[in-house]
Structure 1
Amino acid sequence: MNYESGSLEGEHLAIEGPSHDARRRRRWIVIAAVIVAVAAAAYFFSRRGGAPEHTSPADQAPSVTVVVPGSAAVGRVINATGSLAAKRDMPIGVAGEGGMVTRVLVEPGQWVSAGQILATVDRSVQTQTSASLNAQIGVARSDLVLDQQELERAQQLVGRGFISQADVQRRIATRDAAAARLKVAQAAVAEQGARNRRLDIRAPEPGLILTRQVEPGQIISSASGTLFRMAKNGELEMQAQLAESDLVKTHVGDSATVTPVGETRSFAGRVWQVAPVIDPRTRQGIVRVQLSYDPALRPGGFASVALTSGMNSEPQLPQSAIMSDDRGNFVYIVGKDDKVVRRDVRLGTVTDRNVAIAEGLTGSERVVRSAGAFLNPGQKVAPVLAKSGG
């Protein structure tokens, strides 16, 4: 019995021996790994110059790209809206006594010359009057011829004593009265001719017919109002409404670019008149831009205009540098202590690439080019100057 018990105990020790050695080896491996990790951490912190809690605030400041805008010459552009019109809109109506319209000879959009007949009025009665007056001229002329002949005979007889000098004087007066009646008749015929010619509705100047408000068979008179409207010489303009503050910056001769509503094309023009008065209700004035004729420019239509006046030296920034809030437009600049400072600005000309700064910058500041939305006033940053063209 003791023999068997000793034999089993030996077998049990033989089985547990290898497992104990494996656990001891694993323990030494873990200890070695911990030692290596501690050594690596010590090396890392020695390279960083200390523990993380001792990192200087300057190393935590974010890097931001800044630009120094300088200044460049830019044209001041003023945008406005308004309507198209004829530069000289000429209404044409009845100049004479009127009557029934017999013919209308022009249509809107047609070019006419000075004095060209636009419409005619029936003149049957006036024609008979002219014939009667012409007949009176013939009568007056005949009387004058007869009185002149009697005067000449009387002058021949007065020397012989057949008639007195007083008879000669009476014949002279009769001759002069006949001459006066002839002149009166001629003047009456000329007057009637002028009246007849005024029955024709004529163009006062060369130009473009804009509207027609008369048809054949219509009875017209001096109370009929405007029958035609025309643009003198076909010259057009845009009447732009400008605020009082912009009006003082606009001058005669400034260039303009007009774009009618619905048109993809723009038309070049020049300011030819700046309103001398301001509307007290709207605080606006009218700037008139002269345009060359084009079928796309229709009087009465709506259009926008960009007026370029003068050249100013202004800083220019990329659009990414401009921010806005309820206080208006602003940029962030980096001061001498590398802290962010808010600067309110007023924008000038805006293009696809840049924005001119009309007020608020001198051009020598370091302006945050982008990422301004992630910064706060007073925050310290590490400014990086952008390369030219970047």
Structure 2
Amino acid sequence: MFRYVLPLALPASLALFLVGCGHEEPAQVSVRPAMVVQPQPSAQAMDSYPGEVRARFEPDLAFRIGGKVSRRLVEEGERVKANQPLAELDPQDVRLQLEATRAQVAAAEANLNLVRSERDRYKTLLDRQMVSRSQYDNAENLYRSGEARLKQIKAEFDVSSNQAGYAVLRAPQDGVVAKRQVEVGQVVAAGQTVFTLAADGEREVLISFPEQAFGRFKIGQDVSVELWSQPDQRFNGHIRELSPAADPKSRTFAARIAFSAGKVPAELGQSARVYVQAAGVVPLSVPLSALTAENGATYVWRILADNTLKRTPVRVGAFGEKTVPVFEGLTASDWVVAAGVHVLHDGEKVRPVDRSNRVVNLAAKE
């Protein structure tokens, strides 16, 4: 009996299985993430110069009087606040000078009181016609001389008081001690550099231009800056300062590059590289990983506004270490896939992300 029932049961169960499968939801197709970049000016058409991040203002700090350094209160690289003591001189000499001037002030005041009383007495006698006019004038002159002497000594006392304060070197503003040039026990002259302060605020890049190319550069010329700590990012800048004379040792011309944007994540002493556009038309460049080839043709995957891929033929130049110049096929506003190009397909929809895995909204960047 089972031989007859089994052939009938199998088609029925198969039909029920197919009906059940028909009610399942279709599997959703996941969108592949794709790292994207924009073409950048080719390094082959850019002159690059190494540099160092420096502070915009770097005042040399010095004592206003000479003396022997008795205390050094900060170290090189230490952050300081405005009016913070940095170093002190032996105050013994300036204190003795201050005490001597104070004594002279007291003597001048006593002398002024004496000549004032003499003048007043002679004035009374003159009114009674008991002394001559010349005697009174002599007493008046002595009084005026004593008054002037007191003013002179008081001014000298103020100078001595200021010099006593000059024995302590203070920071003029917030910043970092970039360089130290004295030690405790060293005798320094007035105006001799003791510290170099890198003031807080704007940061710049100090570079040196070669002598043979100096004529190509001018103040205000646009450049781009790449920090060693952020090799995949360029910051816009311009030449703010250009030395008119070459360094006697290196025969190069110092220049300072200011950042055109607001606050840039550049720290003091960081290495940087400044790129200056060469003369002529500057080709674009893309990473080597963005290129692929088929049947002898080179192309990249360009992303359209709807996040779909389009295979775009390009004409490239000589391959560099990390990038390759593109002469035809792309514009500076295009976005191309920078990695994994061998697994992509024409018309495929992707999710564009940057190197930090953040979603890139192409429509907002157009």
TM-score of the pair, normalised by structure 1: 0.53
Q: Does 1:105 align with 2:73?
A: yes
Secondary structure, counterpart of 2:193 in structure 1 = coil
1:94 corresponding residue in structure 2: 63
Aligned AA (1:227): V
Aligned AA (1:229): T
Deviation (angstroms), 1:297: 3.0
Q: Is the 8 A contact 1:76 1:309 kept in 2?
A: no
Query: Which of the residues 191, 198, 203 maps onto 1:236?
Result: 203
Identity between Structure 1 and Structure 2 (%): 19
**Structure 2 unmatched runs, 5+:** 1-37, 298-315, 331-345, 349-366
1:116 corresponding residue in structure 2: 84
Larger radius of gyration between Structure 1 and Structure 2: 1
Aligned AA (1:202): R
Query: Which of the residues 81, 87, 97 maps onto 1:129?
Result: 97
Secondary structure, counterpart of 1:228 in structure 2 = strand
Secondary structure, counterpart of 1:355 in structure 2 = strand
Query: Which of the residues 106, 109, 118 maps onto 1:141?
Result: 109
Q: Does 1:203 align with 2:178?
A: no
Q: Deviations over 1:32-81 (max 9, x none)?
A: xxxxxxxxxxxxxxxxxxxxxxxxxxxxxxxxxxxxxxxx9975763523
Q: CA 1:318 to 1:99, structure 2 compared with 1: closer, same or farther past 3 Å?
A: closer
Deviation (angstroms), 1:259: 1.9
Aligned AA (2:186): I
Distance 1:282 1:136 in 2: 56
Aligned AA (1:92): L
Distance 1:388 1:314 in 2: 27
Secondary structure, counterpart of 1:81 in structure 2 = strand
Q: CA 1:303 to 1:143, structure 2 compared with 1: closer, same or farther past 3 Å?
A: same
1:25 corresponding residue in structure 2: none
User: Does 165-174 or 241-250 show the bigger shift?
Assistant: 241-250
Distance 1:234 1:316 in 2: 34
Distance 1:82 1:251 in 2: 18
Distance 1:311 1:348 in 2: 20
Distance 1:222 1:236 in 2: 31
Give the alignment of 1:130-209 within 5 angstroms. 130-209=98-177
Deviation (angstroms), 1:209: 1.2
Q: CA 1:131 to 1:249, structure 2 compared with 1: closer, same or farther past 3 Å?
A: closer
Aligned AA (1:212): R
Distance 2:102 2:114 in 1: 19
Secondary structure, counterpart of 1:273 in structure 2 = strand
1:13 corresponding residue in structure 2: none
Q: Does 1:355 align with 2:325?
A: yes
Distance 1:155 1:201 in 2: 52
Q: Deviations over 1:120-156 (max 9, x none)?
A: 1121232132122112212211221221222122222
Distance 2:164 2:287 in 1: 72
Give the alignment of 1:370-381 within 5 angstroms. none
Query: Which of the residues 249, 269, 273 maps onto 2:240?
Result: 273
Distance 1:73 1:263 in 2: 18
Aligned length: 267
Q: Is the 8 A contact 1:82 1:238 kept in 2?
A: no
2:267 corresponding residue in structure 1: 297
Secondary structure, counterpart of 1:163 in structure 2 = coil
Aligned AA (1:81): Y
Q: Is the 8 A contact 2:225 2:272 kept in 1?
A: no
TM-score of the pair, normalised by structure 2: 0.56
